[in-house]
Amino acid sequence: MSEHIEAVVRECTAGSDEGRMTFPEVLQKLAAVGVERYHADLCRAEKTYYLSEGRSIVVQAEPARGTVAPTFSPDGVSAAVRASQAGAISYARFCERVLEAGCAGYVVSLSGRRVLYFGRTAETYVEPFPLTA
């Protein structure tokens, strides 16, 4: 993987964790280097970025505070998404809230323009994101 692509995915991870980058900014930067999708594993505190030709890179993320609740709440995930979109909470707080809602991780599809959130027993909630994201 090129050093430039690796630098971009590391910057996007750190920028999100530190509250310096918004979700739309992350998507724009990732798309510019050919990232097709990424998986955020909230339990392992890592993100795996996938390029369209099949290569991937794993980046350590800041661990979220808390543990995955045993019961998945799509409404809880949706409420966290809405608060994040409104700029009312940081990415760190977003992660805490989705953990409280039973979310173990999520997959962002840049080409599919959606995020799939999943719980411990594979319950899911899908959130499309707008063209401006």
pLDDT per position as a tens digit, 29-85: 999 999 999 999 999 999 999 998 889 999 999 999 999 999 999 999 999 999 998
pLDDT per position as a tens digit, 87-113: 899 999 999 999 999 999 999 999 999
Closest CA to 81 of 70, 95, 102: 95
- 91: helix, strand or coil: helix
Q: What residues does 38 pair with on adjacent strands?
A: 49, 108
Closest CA to 60 of 72, 76, 44: 44
Does the domain spanning 3-128 belong to CATH 2.40.370.10?
Answer: no
pTM across the whole model: 0.92
Do the beta carbons of residue 30 and residue 9 sit within 8 Å? yes
pLDDT tier at 10, thresholds 50, 70, 90:
very high
**pLDDT tops 60 at residue 132:** no
